[in-house]
Every structure is written in C-alpha cells, then in structure tokens.
Copies of this chain bind each other. A is one copy, B any other.
Amino acid sequence: MTQARYPKFLTAIPQDLVCASDYALYAKQHLPDDIYQYIVGGGGDEITLRRNRSKLDDLLILPRVLQDCTQGGTHTTVLGQHFRSPIMLAPVAFQTLAHPDGELATAEAASLLETGLVVSTLASQTWQDIADKTQSNKWFQLYLQESRDFTSSLIKRAEQAGYTALVVTIDAPLHGIRNRAQRAGFVLPDDVVAVNLADRPPLPRKVFDPSESVVFQGMMSEAPTWQDIEWLQQQTELPIILKGILSPQDALHAKQLGIDGLVVSNHGGRTLDCMPSAIEQLPHIRHAVGDNFPLIMDGGIERGTDVFKAIAQGADLVWVGRPQIYALAVAGALGVAHLLRVLREELEVTMSLAGTPTIADITDEMLIK
C-alpha cells in the first residue's frame, strides 16, 4: 500500500545530487504533490519560512588563515552527552509519509553517521523499534496530552526505550494556517498513523455557544501552559528541553524554572507566519541565558556554513528538519546517510577554511554582521 504510493527510490546517489537543497528538488519528483506541498510548505505566506533561510545567508564568515587544523574535529558535548558533530536530526512526525521505512530508515542512517536524533510523539513507527535501530544519542519529542496520566505513560515508555532527553514542543498548541497544504488538499493517508498513541483516551466533546471561539475555547483549552511544564518537571529524571522559544524573556524564565535547555525555533515556519527567523533570535537568547546553558538552533539549516554560523551565534547543537525528509523520500536510509555525510563534511571544510579547528573555536568573532 505505502509501497504503491512511492514506486521509485534511488539506490545510488546521482552526480548532480550534492547538497541538501538538491534533495528538495529531487523530492519534488519522488513525492505525490499533496505530500510534497505539505512537507515543503509553511504557515500563511511563508514569510518566516523564507526568512529562516535568508537570514542565514545574510551572515558572513570572516576566516583566519594559516591556522594549524591537524588536531581538528567536530566533536562536542551537550547535557553530558557526547556528539560526533553538533548536527542532529530534528523530530519530524509521520515519516512513513515520505518512505515506507519511515523513522527506521532515519534512525539507521543516524547510527551509521554517528548523528544524534530526536523522535516525535507522532512517529509512525514505534519508539522502541526506532530506538533499537540506532547507536546514536536519541531524544524524545513530547507533545503534552489532554490527559496528564496519558502524558506520564508516554514519558515512561520513552524512558524505557532508552531516550536520554525530553524535548517538549511548546510552540504549536495549534497547527497554524498552512495554506499551501490546504490548497494541495493534503490529508494524512489512512495508513500513516501515530502508532504510539493508539491507546490515547478520546477527547471530551465540546459544544460552543455563539459568542465562543473554536480556537480559544476549543483548541487552546488543550494547550500547555507554564504550570504544565512545572508539573512535567516532577514526572521524570530526564533532562527537559523546551522547543519553540523565540523571546529572550521566555528563555530566561525557562532557565530560572530549572529547564535544562532550549530549542530556538519557529517550528520551521509551519505555525505562525511572520515570526522572526531562528538564527536572528539566537544571539538575543544566548545573551539572555548566558554561557553554559544548552541552546539548540532549529530552522533553515541546509549547509555546513549554516551550522558554523549558528554555533558562532551561540548554539550548541543544530537540528536538520525538512532535508532529512527530502533525503528519506529520495533514497531512504541511503539518502539520509548521504545527506548527513555531506553536511558533516561541509562543516569540516568550513571549519578548516575558516581556521577554526574545534567547535569551541567558532565564536561570534568569526562572523561579520
């Protein structure tokens, strides 16, 4: 069934597929249009989506010459966990949309390239199966559920499967206005399912009076608040990372609450359009929380130079979102592995040509703004 949806996957990487943005072009050929539009698109007029890229492109790298890089490497340590490189795979829901192997293929590629990954609450493979596929650091992305008991049970399952951090998404209490996907008529196919939520208790049915709003009195009644975060801190020993912070004040509040790290993100431009890009908010947030507080940058990363810029602006790690799905759609685990290899090599070449042999050398003095 799923196989029939995607008859053709590449089994070798063609000569003209050499970087992440090439995968976007190929993916357009490999995916049904509605699914492609769903993946590629963003909220509203996609101003934020484009800005995630353009603000990365605007930053300039000022290299230093004739540095000894022979001891160089991309290794880094965050939350006490060791990473081969600061590049991680972002949590993306429903990966069997792109390839029948879905998250299993992604995890296999992550393992092969020693790349950390984050697995979604809305994975289309079981969290246990995905965890079993990879030797890499694996974190669990959590959507807080209407039922606190059910939320607790999800956390327990993630802990048991070996996930080593909890990433709580807080910037998508509702979907956002994804006009591109709407125009393409995208609906989740019947065979793509949040398999890990099969036992989710049914939501209470709500009746609205005329002066009420489906948005405020409906959808937002399930949205998490700071109180839910405080409750969550009691439920687990795992480090807790909040995903979707753009305001320095929110970042400082989270740190003061004892949160272990933040993902600076606008949800890939998929929720509220007209938010600033992640890369432009990153230095403000680093300034607010000070050094030695884990920050992850998510949004627009497509190049080794992007990784370099994010680190120079204050990130400890960066996440790669859409490109992993493009690569998965084009060539399954092979595609994702190739993508990860390209990105790491681009980062190594960038560090070498910039004269910064280690991640710690990549400071904001390396940028012209």
Contacts and interface: CB of A to CB of B under 8 A. Distances in A.
A258 B40 CA distance: 53
Contact of A220 (B70, B173, B250): B70
B349 A66 contact: no
Nearest to A267: B353
B271 A223 contact: no
Nearest to A271: B353
Interface string A316-343: 0000000000000000000000000000
Interface in A179-213: 179, 182-185, 211-213
Interface residues of A, number: 82
Give the interface SS of chain A, mostly helix, strand, loop or mixed: loop
A170 B57 contact: no
A276 B368 contact: yes
B69 A216 contact: yes
A256 interface: no
Given A15-B182, A177-B19, A348 B60 contact: no
A70 B219 CA distance: 9
Interface string A209-250: 001111111011101111011000000000000101111011
A220 to B, nearest CB: 4
Contacts of A65: 170-171, 242, 244-245, 247, 250
A303 B44 contact: yes
Nearest to A345: B215
A350 interface: yes
A350 to B, nearest CB: 6
Interface of A: 15-16, 18-19, 21-22, 44-45, 47, 57, 59-75, 170-171, 173-174, 176-177, 179, 182-185, 211-217, 219-221, 223-226, 228-229, 242, 244-247, 249-250, 271-276, 303-305, 309, 345-346, 348-354, 357, 368
